[in-house]
Structures are given as structure tokens and as C-alpha cells.
Amino acid sequence: GVLVGLRYGPDKLHFLFWSQESAGGWQSRVTFPNVSLADDRWHTLVLAVSGQSFSLTVDCSIPKDVVAETPFPASLSVRRASFYLGSRRRRKGMFTGLLRQLVLLPGADATPRICQAVNFKAATLSVPAVLQDVPAKPVSNEVLKYPYETDMKVTLGARPRCSKQEKAQFWFNASRRGLYLCNGSTWLSMLEVQHRLDYVEEHQDLVTNSETMGVEVFTIPGVGLFAAVANRATPPGSAIYRWAEGKFVHYQNIPTCQAQSWKYFTIGKKIFLAVANFEQNERGQEFSVIYKWSHRKAKFVAYQRISTHSARDWEAFVIEGEAFLAVVNHREGNNHNIDSVIYRWNPRTGLFEANQTIPTSGAYDWEFFTIGPYSFLAVANTFNGTSTRIHSHIYIWLSGSFQLFQSILVRLGRCSSLCLGRAATSSFSRPPSPQTFGAADWEVFHIGDRVFLAVANSHSYDSGMPAPSNFYAINSSIYELNITAQMFVKFQDLLTYSALDWEFFSVGDESFLVVANSFDGFTFSVSSVIYRWQGYEGFVAAHRLPTVGCRDWEAFHTAEGSYLFYSSARQPLSKVLKLKTT
């Protein structure tokens, strides 16, 4: 049997090798098409092999690359094997060409060492200098090492395709000065110049159906980038926009009842979008609705209605392989102290079913996050009927349900980042819940190994206390997980003006927080602020952005760059801002 061989046809060349990975340990073949050598001239062929990558260079021109399913064997015994040069097999007669040199070189690619002469045609009859340098055998038992690998294919120019055929190949993006590796489906950044945020410019004015209470930006694989806006007015409802040619364009209208927010999530291959409705429909029914993406219709269609009470927010998450959906119920009539509900996905019925209720007080927001193997859920309690100075709680998933966060037990060893455990109440006391002032939003984020939790405080009011000089100019707080203290502790206070949302984003290796300031006690035309992470200094104001009744921020990225989307709860106009970098 042929261990390694080259066979030449009229217009192609085949490289043959024996591989145990083939069926029954049979011969594999890699074909290079469009190779024509029968022109009565000398030709230099360099065949380079490494793993699944095979490269053929004819006369030092552009190499022909092939990625095969069967890799070249890592080791191949040639004991008692023979070389057959220029054989056409007995049944086809004798080889009629001339073969001057056959050279086997260690290392995966000898092309740059062979193709060094300016006049390659004249070099074909010369002895390559590399043949004079290669030792006959390694020193002692060392393996010869050469820095040539055929896998190292670097493509220049526009973004190329990345599929299984391009796996392990590189692409150099000259405009962004970045080197990327194809993993078989997407380009991974290996080395690129880190961009720094320089300034923010207005990119698009988006006229909406009415005032916008929330924005959700998401990507449907194979379809595109979308933004769902939660509009206040019941007719005509809320809208979904699609990103096209660098702008958001209207895509679909969905009937809603004073929508407050949207939540995009997936379960397996199913794609969902849940809306939190604040008011009743025309029939006096109060429902929030889950919509499902229809691939056939290419739009979202109603899937499941869930009874809610002035719903403010949805949060979707997965714990131990099970899908959950939590709704924030703000109030029922004039009663703000009601239960919010966590629903569990039933794969048998294909519906969400109530799993747990948690008492909340005029709540605005849920925030789910994980630390190591443990899952947490933070609620932003806003108003208990008499005061906004109330505790917002952090819950932990233990024994199949969420419980008030009680203890963090720190251990060194195999635990990732921290270990949590339950212990006797005599050993551990429950850490106090953060006191908030009309909390409207929680935002969890990581900077390096540090975990932070930021709360947006909207206003300070207490019917039993003297009125402050300004209800709305108050501090919003950033908490950091302190493992030694076994709880989140306050890290920094930032002065905000009826803050309704935090959004964390990164540009290069820099981290930022942007706050949605909505009202300063006198006007809704108040600047929202981008804060830059400054390490020991914490977050420092970097950019002030003019906004009107800002309600929500969303950061997103496209091939054209990085953007911020802000919604206004005071006018039917939202804006897309572009982050300009250096």
C-alpha cells in the first residue's frame, strides 16, 4: 500500500497518504485542481503538510490551500518502505518526464526557504541554500524545530468567510489593526489595537409611536439586529425596528397597553420576546404577553398571555438547565405591597407556569446574575405606599427556590471565585439588604475579578419625614461583592437626578457606566452622564449627554462600530448615539 504519494494528471495533482482515521485504515487523497505542468518546462513544486492543512506552491506563485477532513497522521512508520520515483505503474508504461530533485524537509512549510531567489525560473536548477544548512540528523535525541506551519494562513482585506473550511486560518484587518482566528464559525480576536472612547456623536433620531419607556436590542441569528421599544400609548402600541444600512428602520407593530419594557430570550431553538404591560386592555383584562418568532412569517406572533399587575419588567434566566421568567408586579390598584412571580418553563406543555412568588413593594426591576456556580436575583423596590426609603433585596437560589441572601462562606481551593453555603444561624447572620430610594434599576457588571451591583435611585419621599429640598437630586450607589464581609458593600455614591437606569459597556479595555437622568426637580431636560472606570478613583464623569426625560439606555455593537440607544419617556423621539474612538 502507498504510505505517501504524489500522482499527477493532465490538469490536477493528487497527494495520497495512509491514515488510520480513514475507514479501515485506508488511503486518503487530497486533490489540487487546475495544476498544469505538461508544457516542456522545468517547474518547482513545494508541497507543505500540517494537520488538516495542505498547501501546494507551483513556481513560487500564490499557494493553493486545501483543508481536508482527514488530517495527515502525526506519525508514520516508513520502516522497510521503498521510494518509487516517476512510476506510472506497469499497466501504463514508464514515466516520460524528468525529475531533478526530491527533497523532504522537516517543519511544516519550506516555501519561504525555497522561494528566496528573485528569478525563480533560474533558481529551479540551482541547489537551494536550505539544503546545505539542514543537518543530516538532530543533535542527540532532540527534535528539529522549524517555525513554518501551513496552518498559519493570513488573509488580508475585507472580512472573509469563516466556516469549517477556513478553520485555523487567520485574518488581518488592516483598518482596525487586528489579527483574528477562525474557529470554524466566527472570527476570534487574537491581537488588536485597543480603542479608546474619544467622544459621542448623534447618529440617528428615531421617531417612535409615542413616549418610550424601555428599549431591548437583540440579534436573531441569521436574520439581523433588532430593537424593540416599549411605547406608552395603547394605540397604536409598540414597535420593533431592524438595523439596515447603518440605521434602525420600522419592521413590525405589536399591540401593547402602556408597555414598560421588553425582554428577549431563547429556549433551545425557540425565540421569544416578552412585553410588560402596565394597564388593562380594552376589555378590562390585564395581561402581559410573550411573543414567539415565526420563521415562516418572519415576525413575532402572540404565544402566551400571563396575568400581571401593572407589570414593569421581565427577567429571563436559566438555572441548572431549566428556563425561568420573572415578572415585576408594581401595584394592584393602590396597593403597592404585592407579590411578584417567577415562572418556570414546562417543556411538556410548552408554557410558562407559576413556580414561586416573592413579596415586593412597588417594584420596578429584576436583575439576575451568577457568581461561580450560584444564582442570584435582585429586586428594585420603589415604594411601599408611604415611603421610597425602603430596602431592596438580593435573593439566592437554594434548594430549588429563591431565598433571602443569608451567607457567603469563603473557602480557598477548588471553588471558583467564591463558595456559598448554608450554616446554622448561630454562626452566620443575615447581611442587611441595601437601603434604596425609589430604586428603579439594578445593573450587575464585572471588572476583572471584581463583581459590582449598581442601583438607580429615582427619588426620596417619606410621608412621615420633613420634605427634602429636592426629592430628585439624590445619590445612586454602586455596591461591590466583599467576600470577607460575606455581602455586597457600598463602593461609591454618585449624584444623579431621578435616575431610572444604569447601563454598563466597554470600549477596548476601558469600562463605562451611563446613567439615565430623567428629572432634576425643575425640568426633564437634564444631562445623562457617562462615567469612566478609573481604578482606585472608582467611576469618574467623562461625558455629559443632553437628554429629555431619559428612561433607558442600551449599548450595542455592529460591524460599523459601537452605539448607545436612549429612550425618552417625555417625547416620541429616541436617539442612537455613536461612540467615536481613537
Q: Please report, as a single letter, which amino acid is at residue 507.
A: V
In this structure, the number of other CB atoms found within 10 A of the CB of residue 78 comes to 9
Best mean pLDDT range from 3-17, 166-180, 444-458: 444-458
Task: State the pLDDT at residue 38.
Answer: 77
DSSP string of 55-113? Answer: EEEETTSSPEEEE-SSPPPS----TT-----SB--GGG-B--S--------SSS--HHH
- Residue 152: helix, strand or coil by DSSP? coil
Task: State the pLDDT at residue 117.
Answer: 59
Sheet holding 473-482, edge to edge: 439-447, 450-457, 473-482, 487-497
Percent of the chain whose pLDDT exceeds 90:
56
442 close to 376: Cβ distance less than 8 angstroms: no
Residue with cell 423621539: 573
Hey, where are the domains in the chain?
A: 1-124, 197-411+437-581
Cis peptide before 236 (omega within 30 of 0): yes
Position 382 confidence tier, pLDDT thresholds 50, 70, 90: very high
Which has more confidence, 527 or 135?
A: 527
Residue 306, phi then psi, degrees to nearest 5: -130, 130
Position 73 confidence tier, pLDDT thresholds 50, 70, 90: confident
Q: Which fold has domain 197-411+437-581?
A: Methylamine Dehydrogenase; Chain H (2.130.10)
CA distance linking residue 183 with residue 158, whole number of Å? 18
Which has more confidence, 228 or 169?
A: 228
Residue 507: is its pLDDT beyond 70?
yes
Q: What angle do CA 80, 84, 90 make, to 5 degrees?
A: 115
Average pLDDT of the segment spanning 519-539: 96
Residues 454-486: tens digit of each pLDDT: 999 999 998 888 877 789 999 999 999 988 877
- Written as nine digits, the cell of 290 is 410573550
Task: State the pLDDT at residue 190.
Answer: 84
Which has more confidence, 68 or 328?
A: 328
Task: State the pLDDT at residue 177.
Answer: 75
Give strand ranges (E) for 365-465. Answer: 365-371, 374-380, 389-391, 394-398, 401-404, 435-437, 439-447, 450-457
Residue 574: is its pLDDT beyond 60?
yes
Position 65 confidence tier, pLDDT thresholds 50, 70, 90: confident
Task: State the pLDDT at residue 414.
Answer: 34
Task: State the pLDDT at residue 418.
Answer: 46
CA distance linking residue 84 with residue 423, whole number of Å? 76
Which has more confidence, 508 or 452?
A: 452
Which has more confidence, 174 or 25?
A: 174
- Written as nine digits, the cell of 226 is 433588532
Q: Please report, as a single letter, which amino acid is at residue 44.
A: T
Residues 191-235: tens digit of each pLDDT: 877 778 999 999 999 999 999 999 999 999 999 999 999 999 988
553 close to 514: Cβ distance less than 8 angstroms: yes
290 half-sphere exposure, CB direction, 13 A CA radius: 27
Closest CA to 447 of 531, 554, 541: 531
Dihedral of alpha carbons 164, 170, 174, 176, sign: positive
Sheet holding 365-371, edge to edge: 365-371, 374-380, 394-398, 401-404
Task: State the pLDDT at residue 407.
Answer: 31
Please state which of the ranges 178-182, 197-201, 323-327, 544-548 shows the lowest mean pLDDT. 178-182
Average pLDDT of the segment spanning 289-315: 97
Which has more confidence, 170 or 515?
A: 515
The CA-based dihedral angle spanning residues 90, 96, 101, 103, taken in that order and rounded to the nearest 10 degrees: -40
Task: State the pLDDT at residue 81.
Answer: 87
Closest CA to 274 of 292, 250, 286, 252: 292
Task: State the pLDDT at residue 128.
Answer: 62
Position 428 confidence tier, pLDDT thresholds 50, 70, 90: very low
Average pLDDT of the segment spanning 365-387: 95
Position 24 confidence tier, pLDDT thresholds 50, 70, 90: low
pTM as predicted? 0.69
Average pLDDT of the chain is 86
Closest CA to 81 of 26, 15, 27, 3: 3
Q: What angle do CA 52, 54, 56 make, to 5 degrees?
A: 175
CA distance linking residue 397 with residue 424, whole number of Å? 18
Which has more confidence, 169 or 56?
A: 56
Task: State the pLDDT at residue 276.
Answer: 98
Query: 315 Cβ partners below 8 Å, 6+ apart?
Result: 263, 325, 326, 328, 366, 367, 368, 377
Residue 379: is its pLDDT beyond 70?
yes
Q: How far is CA 368 from CA 246, 418, 505, in A?
A: 31, 17, 17
Residue with cell 503538510: 49
Report the run of H or E that residue 33 belongs to, with start and end.
strand 27-33
Task: State the pLDDT at residue 401.
Answer: 96
Task: State the pLDDT at residue 145.
Answer: 47
Residues 84-140: tens digit of each pLDDT: 777 665 555 555 667 777 777 766 667 777 776 555 555 555 566 655 555 545 555
Task: State the pLDDT at residue 500.
Answer: 98
- Written as nine digits, the cell of 368 is 439576575
Task: State the pLDDT at residue 431.
Answer: 66
- Written as nine digits, the cell of 559 is 460591524
